[in-house]
Amino acid sequence: MHPAFSVVFFTTATGAGYGLLALLGLLGGFGVIPADFWLGLVGMGLALGLIAAGLLSSTGHLGHPERAWRAFSQWRSSWLSREGVASVATFIPAALFGIGWVLLGRSGGWVAVAGVLAAAGAVMTICTTGMIYASLKPIAQWHSRYTLPAYLIFAAMTGSVLANALLQGFKLGSTAMPIWALLATLAGWGWKLATWRYNDRLEIPTTANTATGLAGGTVRSIEWPHTEENYLLKEMGFRIARKHSAKLRRITQVLAFAVPAILLAAVFFLPWPLGAVASVLAAVAQLVGMLVERWLFFAEAKHTVTLYYGRE
């Protein structure tokens, strides 16, 4: 029993992809980044490739992937459906921006408008993804003020670190992008520590007694409602040893935050191409660390339905 890797990869890849897309749309659209064909091709290819890979991996989490299209029809009430609509809609301005910035070598005008719309679509999609989890009241670790901002901060963090690696690789590095990437990484680190502190102190008032409405004693389960493991027990009732959780938290802090922060700080003192190598290593380490962080995000969450299985 463990959290599904498809969802872990989905949230990591799409967060980084949309973060990078938003930066490229704004900086490229307004001419802050030059309209260079190879820079644009690699940058947009990386951003859209991460987004597409993440979206495709999410279908592997479905029992019937061929029915995924039906989720789009529930946008009035479902954050999952809204996420699907927003993710697909974002490809339209992103494609227009790519045509203008990459193929035509233009910025400003309608290209800037397309870039702004692509960035807005990326932010909207990240918000809908975060709200999928923040809106789930039965999972107290997610239903908090920390969840939605975390998705936005991590997208900005991973996107900016990728953007810095891209610019450094094409010898277009400046002091602004490494500083922004470093500050975003430190902000993500601080937010993650605050989230862990909040979750560790979280007191969940719901018990088997309150869930069943029974009083006058301690309610306990003597037999499971069914004989096989189900989805909730596998992915939202996962039990991880405290020592393993502490170890994985340290790995997350090292790979997702500490190592990238050190490498980004080193960029200011290293000549090219060493600065470019450090930037690429920072991006790779951070993505690996975020995979661990996302796994913990799901593994440490507890659905209140587990009370019916005798778990406190």
Task: Identify the bridge partners of residue 139 per DSSP, sorted by sequence position.
Answer: 303
Per-position b or e across 221-239, b if 16+ CB within 10 A of its CB: eeeeeeeeeeebbebbbbe
d(CA 194, CA 230): 32
For 254-288, what is each residue's pLDDT tens digit? 999 999 999 999 999 999 899 999 999 999 999 99
For 209-254, what is each residue's pLDDT tens digit? 666 777 777 767 666 666 666 666 665 556 665 677 889 999 999 9
Q: Cβ(168)–Cβ(276) under 8 Å?
A: yes
The amino acid present at 116, given as its one-letter code, is V
- The pLDDT, as a whole number, for residue 238 is 61
- pTM here is 0.88
